[in-house]
Structure 1
């Protein structure tokens, strides 16, 4: 029997490595404003099928807040400026039942 290793990814919020199935994939979607400039917004990709470069984050408010504070999504997704996190924030709040008290994954010592 051949055993396949699960892929691991790094959360852009807490910088912990975790199984890709434990993290939420996020992509940047470009939209053009009336003035012709482009603006990016963060879209969750739970099915992992959207095209483009992806970043991964634990689906908890603490990791999202940390990633936004450090502007990690712009660097990880290689987009200029600060992407709009609105849609991503709503999705993470829905996953957590709107509970802002969830601060992130539990840290276990190895």
Structure 2
């Protein structure tokens, strides 16, 4: 044994709203399904994911900066109504 403690590394992701890094478990994963941003709280939906803090401020920042189309590499605006409902209920 080397004497080191093997602390498990916690994966980090960047919030597309505020651009701050945070542990993956503190962020909400978002995926695009048929032109709409959908929350993926369990992180099991297929496809490219983007992460945002589950608060209105970060969601507003991401929408205002058009971060979702850029993160998902799609053209045009994405519908974020379902995502907003999920964040406001949380």
The question of a shared fold, defined as TM-score above 0.5 by the shorter chain, is answered with yes
Separation (CA, whole Å) in 2 of partners of 1:49 and 1:6: 18
TM-score of the aligned structures, taking structure 2 as reference length: 0.92
Moved over 4 A (4+): none
Alignment of 1:10-89 (within 5 A): 10-30=14-34, 40-89=35-84
TM-score of the aligned structures, taking structure 1 as reference length: 0.76
Structure 2 runs not aligned, ≥5 long: none
From 8, 11, 16, give the equivalent of 2:12.
8
Please tell me the root mean square deviation across aligned C-alpha atoms, in Å. Answer: 0.8
| Greater helix content | 2
Structure 1 runs not aligned, ≥5 long: 31-39, 96-110
Instruction: Please say if 1:92 is aligned against 2:87.
Output: yes
